[in-house]
Chain A
Amino acid sequence: MTGWPITLPGRVRALPRRVRALPGRVRALPGKLRALPAEQVQRRCAVLAIIAAVLAAALGVTGALLRSDNEALVDAGKTSELTDRLRGPLTQVLSYDYADLDNAHKAARGLFTGAAVRQYDALFGRIRDTAQSKRLIVTTIVRNLGVVSLHGDRAELLGLVDQQIMSGAAQQRSGTAQLRLVAHRDPGGSWKVTELGVL
């Protein structure tokens, strides 16, 4: 120890020796436990168990705080199942053909529930009402559908859609829209749109 610039306390200097002696001490443990009074063993076990429980609780809380609740993309299967499920029907309900309005109606009944039914009517009722007289054909492409948040059976989505409107024979307009959707998964496991709005 002569080369050491500082003098270590005795307990620290004794550490290597104590570590080397550890296996022997562990082997001797059952014997020592038997030799101790039962009450003392119980008390020590209880104290250690309480410390373990407190540590476990602290770790659990830390883990829960660090974990992101948003399952979007983290649960890749659930995320793509959700967007795959909504993309097709959404394309259908936003597309009209004056000669076949039933198609959009049927798709809307299967896709929307709750407030979304009313919101859909408010947004697209006028187009639907004039579709026949103006001979409208609305072609919609859902260009992008992204999951903003996904918590259990509730999701919020953003959809970027392109629409092409043909009125009569030749007139053509095109536009884009950004949609906000809220979807819920019913007990049967299928996703339904409960809120629909234009951003």
Chain B
Amino acid sequence: MNRHRVRLSVALLAVALAGLGVFAFSAWQDAFGSDASVASARDGALEAARTEVATLASLDYRKADANLEQWSAVATGAYKANLDRAKESDANQAKRTKSVSTARITSAAVTKVDVNAGTATVILSADVHIAANGKPAVRRKAGFTARMDRTDSGWLVGDLSSTGTGTP
């Protein structure tokens, strides 16, 4: 009788240890598996795109030089080089038209993510307030497609196109 109960309790302990093993494996998968890396790339690119595209769609002629520095800081690659090249003419145009545009992202979604290449495509919708030459601001809706690149300084905008009428 006693032998029997000992065997039973050893067997139950073995079952408990096996359960622990399964849980440990699945917790490891959840935290570090390939699904988790897709999720973290997706969320990282999305979060960065929301703030960075808002930056790139906003420009205040009274602080144009500082704004254009911010544009450059959130961009990377050939797109950054293009922005840097156009910096002076962009600043001059903003000052000439006395334009102030402020963008607020209303929704965003990642449509593509490549964890190995470190790239993602994010689409965004924005409300853009545009005031020029002292006239009252108009509100425009805009859509954006941003290619995001993972760099040493985080996810940055590698290319940006506007599908809306809202960008100045």
Contact indicator per residue, chain A 27-62, by CB within 8 Å of chain B (1) or not (0): 000000100001001100110110011011101101
Asked if A111 is at the interface of the complex by the 8 Å CB criterion, the answer is no
Contact B5 A158 (CB under 8 A): no
- Once the chains bind, are A178 and B106 in contact (CB under 8 Å)? yes
Residues of chain A within 8 A of B13, CB atoms compared: 45, 48-49, 52
A59:B16 contact, CB within 8 angstroms: no
* B48 interface hit (Cβ, 8 Å): no
A137: chain B residues at CB < 8 Å are none
Contact B3 A38 (CB under 8 A): yes
A103 interface residue per 8 A CB criterion? no
Q: Which residues of chain B have C-beta atoms less than 8 A from A172's C-beta?
A: none
Q: Does A68 contact B (CB under 8 A)?
A: yes
Cβ contact within 8 Å between A72 and B16: no
Evaluate contact between B42 and A158: CB separation under 8 angstroms.
no
Q: Contacts of B5 on A, CB cut-off 8 Å? A: 38, 42
Chain B residues closer than 8 Å to A48, beta-carbon distance = 13, 16-17
Taken together as a complex, chains A and B put the C-alpha atoms of A59 and B163 apart, in Å, by 46
Q: How far is the CB of B159 from chain A (nearest CB, A)?
A: 14
Is the C-beta of A63 less than 8 angstroms from some C-beta in chain B? yes
Pairwise interchain contact B30-A146, C-beta atoms closer than 8 A: no
User: What's the nearest-Cβ distance from chain B to residue A187, in Å?
Assistant: 26
Contact call A52/B19, Cβ cutoff below 8 A: yes
The answer to whether A63 and B30 touch (CB under 8 A), given A73-B42, A160-B125, A178-B125, is: yes
Q: How large is the interface on B (under 10, 10 to 19, 20 to 34, 35 or more residues)?
A: 35 or more
Count of inter-chain pairs, beta carbons less than 8 A: 141
- Asked if B109 contacts A147 (CB within 8 A), the reply is yes
Query: Given the interface contacts A148-B107, A157-B109, A158-B125, does A38 sit within 8 Å of B6 by beta carbon?
Result: yes
Interface residues of A in 117-169 (CB under 8 A from B): 143-148, 157-158, 160, 162
List, in ascending order, chain A residues with CB within 8 A of B64's CB. none
Contact residues, B1-57 vs A (CB, 8 A) = 2-3, 5-6, 9-10, 12-13, 16-17, 19-20, 23-24, 26-31, 35-36, 38-40, 42-43
* A53 to B3 CA separation, bound complex (whole angstroms): 24
Do B110 and A73 touch (CB < 8 A)?
Answer: yes
Residue among A33, A59, A74, A180 making CB contact with B38, cutoff 8 Å:
A74
Most buried by B among A63, A145, A175: A63
Is residue A1 within 8 Å, beta carbon to beta carbon, of the partner chain? Answer: no
By the criterion CB–CB under 8 Å, are A160 and B145 in contact?
A: yes
Contact status B107-A62, CB under 8 Å: no
Interface pair A60/B23, CB less than 8 Å apart: yes
4 more contacts with CB within 8 A, not counting A56-B23, A70-B43, are: A73-B38, A73-B42, A144-B143, A176-B165
The 4 tightest CB contacts between A and B, nearest first, are A146-B109, A63-B27, A178-B125, A68-B39
